[in-house]
A = this chain, B = another copy of it.
Amino acid sequence: MNGAESLVATLAAGGIDTCFANPGTSEIHILAALDREARMRCVLALFEGVASAAADGYARMTGRPAATLYHLGPGFANSLANLHNAFRARVPILNLIGQHATYHLRHDTPLTSDIEGLARQYSSWLRTSSAAADIGRDAAEAIVAASAPPGRIATLIVPADAAWNGGGIVAKTPPVPKPPVPNKEVIERAAAMTRSSLRTAFILTGNALHGEGLATAGRISAARNCKLLAPYPFTRLERGAGTPRVDRIHYILEQAAAQLQDFQQLILVGARPPVTYFAYPGKNSVVTRPDCEVFELAKPEEDGVAALKALESALDVQTPATITAKQEPPLIPAGSITLSGVSSAVASLLPENAIVVDESMTSGRALMAATAGCPPHDWLANTGGSIGIALPMAVGAAIACPDRRVLCLSADGSGMYTLQALWTMAREGLNVTTVVYANRNYAVLQREYSGLGIGDPGKRAKELLEIGRPELDWSLLAKGMGVPATRVESMEDFVKALHDGLESDGPRLIEIVL
C-alpha cells in the first residue's frame, strides 16, 4: 500500500465521504487511490475557489468536513479567497495539497512555492507529511483537528514521493474531543444579566443559530424578553415559520448603530463584539452604545449550545419560545422588475426546507424581511466578505443535502469571480436554482463612493464601478457551462422561471435584468 492509498483509506474510514478536487500531476497517485475508493464522492471543480466554497457549503449543512484536493501552491492559492470565508465561518474543512517530491524541491522548479506559507493563516492545523508511513496518521489527526467544534480548517500537504512510496499505513481516527463548556460563574453572570431590567440581546453564531441551539435560545429569549441577533456575516441561520425570530445586525453603519442603540447588554455566544465591516473617515467602527455591557457567554471555541442549555437550566424557566408566524404568500406585482417584487416572488415560492445561499448584495436587502414567515428554511450568508461565494457554496450545500432545494441568489459582479461553479452544478445534476441580479454595477462600491462626500464618480472611476459595458449575458454564460438558463425582464417571467427552476430537477439559472 502506498502513501496515497493509506491517505484515502484513512479518510474514508474516518467518515470523509466527499472530496472537492482540482488535481494536477503531483496529485496523480492520490487520484489513482481515489479511483479505487468507492466510499468517497469526488466532485471536480474547474477552478479551486469553487472547491473551497463548496466544502464550506457542505460543512455548513452537515457539520462535517469534506476533503478538498489542490495542485501545489498556485492551485491552492486559487482556493484562498473562499477559504478565507470558510475560516471566518468556522466550519470544518480538510485541505489536501500536493507538493513536489521531497528530493525535487531543491531544484526550485517552476511550480515550487512555500505552500505552508500560503496556508498558515487559514489553517488551525497544518502539516507536511514527511513519508509514506506517516500519511495515514497525519490524515487521521487532520480529521480530528478539522472536526473539533466549532469546526476548523486542517491542511495536509502531501509530497509526491510520500504519496507514491510504499509503506502506507491506514490509521484509525481517534474520537473528536468535545468542545469546552463555559464555567458556572460565566453562566450565572449571564443569568443575572438576563434577569436585570436592562434591555438585553444575545448575538448567536454557529450551532446556536439552528436546531437545538436556536430552540434553546428561543426559549430563553421568550422567558427573559431578550432579543436574538445574528451577526451580519452569519454561517447558517434556521428561520421561517415556526422558528424563533433572529434579527440580523445591519451591514450599514448607521443602521447597525440604530439597531443596537436599544441594548444596554449584549451576550455573545461565539460572537465577537459588533463592529462595522469597514472603517469610515471620522466615524466610529464600534456600533454598540457606549454604556453597553458586552459579555461573552461562550467563546468561539466553546460549546455555545451547551452554554445556552446551562443558562436555561440556571434560569429555571419553562417558557415556550416565541416563534415566527407563518405568513401568507405576499402579492407579487406584475410588470416591470422591481427589487421588492423579486423579494415578494421569492417569499411566495420558497419551498419548505429550502437552503437559501445569499450573496445578492445591494439588490437583496429586502429579501430576509420578505421571507421571515416563509416555510422553514436555512439561510447561508457570506461570512468573510470575500465576494464570489454563492454559486460554489450552493454546489456544496446541494451535495450535502440532495433532498433539499437550493436557491442561490447572487449579484452579477459577485457571481463572476467563481462562475465556473455552474459547470459543476450541471455535471452533478444539482437541484440549484441560481438567480443573478444583473444591475451591471459594483453597486456597493458606488454607494460607498457617494458616501465620501466628494461628489459623483467621474468617467474614469465609473469605468471601475460599472460592469455593464459590455453587458454580461448570464443566460449565455450558464448555457455555455451546461446549465439551462433564462433572462427575464418582467415579474411574470421571473415568477414563471423561478417556479420552473424550483420544480425541475437539475440546475437552472435566471438572470434578472434590473
Contact = CB atoms under 8 A, between A and B. Distances in A.
A325 interface: no
Interface size band for A? 35 or more
Contacts of A474: 480
Interface in A9-51: 21, 23-26, 28-29, 31-32, 34-38, 42, 44, 46-47, 49
Contacts of A384: 74, 110-111
The listed residue with most B CB atoms (<10 A of its CB), out of A101, A104, A121, A464, is A464
Interface string A58-82: 0000000000000001110110110
Given A110-B88, A476-B476, A44 B464 contact: yes
A417 B84 contact: no
Nearest to A418: B47
A74 B464 contact: no
Contact of A78 (B417, B420, B472, B475): B417
A423 interface: yes
The listed residue with most B CB atoms (<10 A of its CB), out of A286, A420, A458, A470, is A470
Interface string A467-491: 1011111111101111000000000
A403 interface: no
Interface in A117-157: 117-118, 120-121
Given A470-B426, A476-B477, A110 B279 contact: no
A457 interface: yes
A164 B35 contact: no
Contacts of A328: none
A109 interface: yes
A471 B482 CA distance: 7
A257 to B, nearest CB: 15
Contacts of A75: 81, 386
A449 interface: yes
Contacts of A37: 460
A43 to B, nearest CB: 8
A464 B424 CA distance: 11
A111 B275 CA distance: 12
Given A111-B386, A454-B32, A482-B471, A161 B279 contact: yes
A160 interface: yes
Contact of A279 (B100, B386, B459, B464): B100
B470 A110 contact: no
Contact of A445 (B23, B29, B110, B480): B23
A448 interface: yes
A281 interface: yes
A291 interface: no
Nearest to A78: B81
A108 interface: yes
Given A104-B278, A386-B74, A476 B467 contact: no
A46 B461 contact: no
A460 B109 contact: no
A60 to B, nearest CB: 16
Nearest to A69: B464
B21 A464 contact: yes
A340 interface: no
A205 interface: no
Nearest to A161: B279
Contact of A467 (B28, B46, B388): B46
Contact of A281 (B44, B114, B164, B448): B164
A465 B42 CA distance: 11
Given A46-B413, A117-B120, 20 more contacts: A29-B452, A31-B464, A47-B388, A73-B84, A74-B386, A78-B78, A88-B110, A104-B285, A107-B273, A107-B275, A107-B286, A109-B276, A109-B385, A419-B419, A427-B469, A470-B482, A472-B481, A472-B482, A476-B476, A477-B481
By Cβ-Cβ distance, the 3 closest A-B pairs, closest first, are A470-B482, A476-B480, A74-B386
28 contacts: A23-B445, A24-B445, A31-B449, A31-B461, A34-B460, A35-B461, A42-B460, A44-B463, A46-B413, A49-B78, A74-B385, A77-B80, A77-B386, A78-B78, A78-B81, A104-B278, A107-B285, A109-B285, A110-B277, A110-B384, A111-B277, A111-B278, A111-B384, A160-B278, A416-B423, A472-B481, A473-B479, A474-B480
